[in-house]
Amino acid sequence: MGPILGVVTYRVASRYERHKIATLSLERSGQPGDPASMQSDTLRPFWLGVAVLAAWETLCGVVIALRKLLRDTAVRDHDRILRSICTSMNDGVVVADRNDKFLLFNKAAEDMIGLGPMDVPQADWSAAYGCYLPDKETPFPADQLPLSRAIKGERVSDVEIFIRHPKKPHGVWLNVNGAPLLDEKGAVGGGVVILRDVTDRKAAEETNRRLSNAFEQTDDSVFITDRKGTIEYVNPAFETTTGYARTEVLGQTPRILKSGAHDEEYYKSLWATILAGNVHRDITVNRKKNGELYHAEQTITPMKDASGRITHFVSVVKDITERRKKEQLELEMQLAALVQKKLYPQSSPEVPGLDIAGSVFPVKAVCGDYFDYLMMPGDRLGIAIGDVKGHGFGPALIMAQTRAHLRSLVQTHSDLGDLLTALSQSLAADLDDDNFVTLLVVSIDIRTRQLTYVNAGHTSGYVLDRSGAVKAELASTGLPLNISPERGHTIGPRISLEAGDLMVLLTDGITESHTRDGDQLDAHGALDVIRTHRHKPVGEIVDCLHKAGRDFAGGLPQDDDITIVVCRVKG
């Protein structure tokens, strides 16, 4: 444009100057002008054109320079604004070019990661910044990092990376989105990623997951209702306990569990408590789907939102039916133990020439062991010791029944053989075939000190002389009671007692005391203990023998009832 303008100016100026020169010459003399003057006037348009051209070029240069200056200023302002925005963002921003050089690493990114831009190749990014897969153990592959993929032209969304290194020893969870950095022509010039710290969210999710697992796996029933009482969640234990499937109760109310055991005032009080924001705790009686009632410890806790408004209620229900039955049984056992204790002799009989002591050591509150002192016709003292098969409440009832029959029959049967035969037949009318009782009954004539006995399948008793030697064994003379009750029982040999003799009656709970290896104390071991302590009072001998059995077991729990009776003949 400038050269064209110069030429046009030059031509217009030349014509104008030639016309002006000709006019002046005619005016002066009517003669032609001076040639030199004419030549000078002729060059003037040329120089004028040159001057105009130079001025135009200068103007154009100034305009171009101003435009470039304004454009550069705008770019710098734009860049400054972008950097200011990135600096102010809560999200981390990282930009890198295709040569793995970081172009931008805002403060939020540095704070999250704990490290700033480092001059390391892309292959070392994962190791340098402590990047791990969600398992928190496996290093994140460097070529799969969102920024690496973005530089390759990929778009990535919601990639979770766990960051852990010396400056972040406890670790940080990041959610990362990435995209390629494109130029004006759409070519990939690098990559950009946006980082978001989701550590708190992950912690909350983990807490919720654990809480959910706890609800799902607990043996207690858990259900959640809205403020109006509509059930929104039940755990598997609820289904197991109540018999209702989850699909059957969602949208229902807890009224489906009402048993009728509680009146309306109870429920009004319950709702008043929880709507006031307080926790309700009580033992309730609920009804299962099949109509069965069960006892439950129930806790209802109000759930509040951030504003403190109650939105839901969480109910935790523990089925305590079996526990209640157990407690009831234990109570019954305690009462039975009190009754049974009264069935045992409350004190030893005072018999001239005899010192007697006996005691029962049950496994449970009640037991099937039995001992008794019987005043028999003919100025005789009867001592009975027995053992009902098993131990616990059932055998204790059989023991009480045996005692009652024996005490009744002893008044009408002077012969011990006839006595036990009649007792076996009496028990057979009431007991099942698989129940039996072993029983050893000793009769001591107080005047003559003659001892007779009948042993219905019971553990042998012993009579030791003054030196501790076995004088007589009161071995079995027949079958246990209720086994072939039609068969009679034979009386054992008569034994004459002398001063210093010691009679010991036992149940197998003491002789079968055993170690962890299965070794038993047996009768020989029990007799050795008696010999060692034979000079002590009879009550102490009983206690020493019991203690020896427990010591022999070496701390193993007692697994059978133990009964011991000791009688010494005084001089």
- Please write down the HEC assignment for all residues of 342-383: HHCCCCCCCECCEEEEEEEECCCCCCCEEEEEEEECCCEEEE
Round to whole Å and give the CA distance between 432 and 254. 47
Could you tell me the two tokens for 385?
């010791």
Helices (H) and strands (E) in the chain, counts: 15, 21
> Do 306 and 177 lie in a common domain?
no
What pLDDT, on a 0 to 100 scale, did the predictor assign at position 540? 96
Round to whole Å and give the CA distance between 286 and 292. 8
Round to whole Å and give the CA distance between 380 and 365. 33
Could you tell me the two tokens for 500?
């210093």
> Do 385 and 503 lie in a common domain?
yes
Q: At which of 203, 238, 271 does a domain end?
A: 203
Could you tell me the two tokens for 498?
């002398």
**CA separation, residue 317 to residues 151, 184, 239, 285 (Å):** 57, 66, 12, 11
**DSSP secondary structure string for all residues of 435-501:** --EEEEEEEEETTT-EEEEEEESPPPEEEE-TTS-EEEEE---BPPBTSSTTS--PPPPPEE--TT-
Residue ranges of the chain with per-residue pLDDT less than 70 = 1-88, 391
**CA separation, residue 118 to residues 91, 104, 129, 297, 395 (Å):** 20, 11, 9, 61, 84
What pLDDT, on a 0 to 100 scale, did the predictor assign at position 528? 95
What pLDDT, on a 0 to 100 scale, did the predictor assign at position 142? 94
Taking the alpha carbons at both ends of the chain, their separation in whole angstroms is 157
The alpha carbon of 517 is separated from its chain's Cα centroid by a whole number of angstroms, namely 37
What pLDDT, on a 0 to 100 scale, did the predictor assign at position 206? 83
Q: What is the CATH number of the domain that holds 542?
A: 3.60.40.10
Round to whole Å and give the CA distance between 104 and 94. 5
Helical ranges in 89-141 per DSSP H:
107-113, 125-129
> Do 259 and 314 lie in a common domain?
yes
> Do 69 and 167 lie in a common domain?
no
What pLDDT, on a 0 to 100 scale, did the predictor assign at position 4? 46
What pLDDT, on a 0 to 100 scale, did the predictor assign at position 434? 82
Q: Indicate whether 440 belongs to any domain.
A: yes
Residue 435 and residue 472 in contact, taking contact as beta carbons nearer than 8 Å: no
> Do 409 and 429 lie in a common domain?
yes
What pLDDT, on a 0 to 100 scale, did the predictor assign at position 30? 47
Could you tell me the two tokens for 329?
């049984």
Bridge partners, 453 (sequence order): 442
What pLDDT, on a 0 to 100 scale, did the predictor assign at position 7? 44
> Do 414 and 265 lie in a common domain?
no
Helical (H) or strand (E) element with 190 = strand 188-197
Q: Indicate whether 330 belongs to any domain.
A: no
Detail the DSSP E strand segments found in 449-556: 450-456, 461-464, 470-474, 495-496, 502-506
> Do 301 and 286 lie in a common domain?
yes
Bridge partners, 194 (sequence order): 93, 177
The number of domains in the chain is 4
> Do 408 and 530 lie in a common domain?
yes
Domain residue limits at 15: 2-83
Q: Indicate whether 135 belongs to any domain.
A: yes
What pLDDT, on a 0 to 100 scale, did the predictor assign at position 85? 60
What pLDDT, on a 0 to 100 scale, did the predictor assign at position 5? 41
Q: What is the CATH number of the domain that holds 224?
A: 3.30.450.20
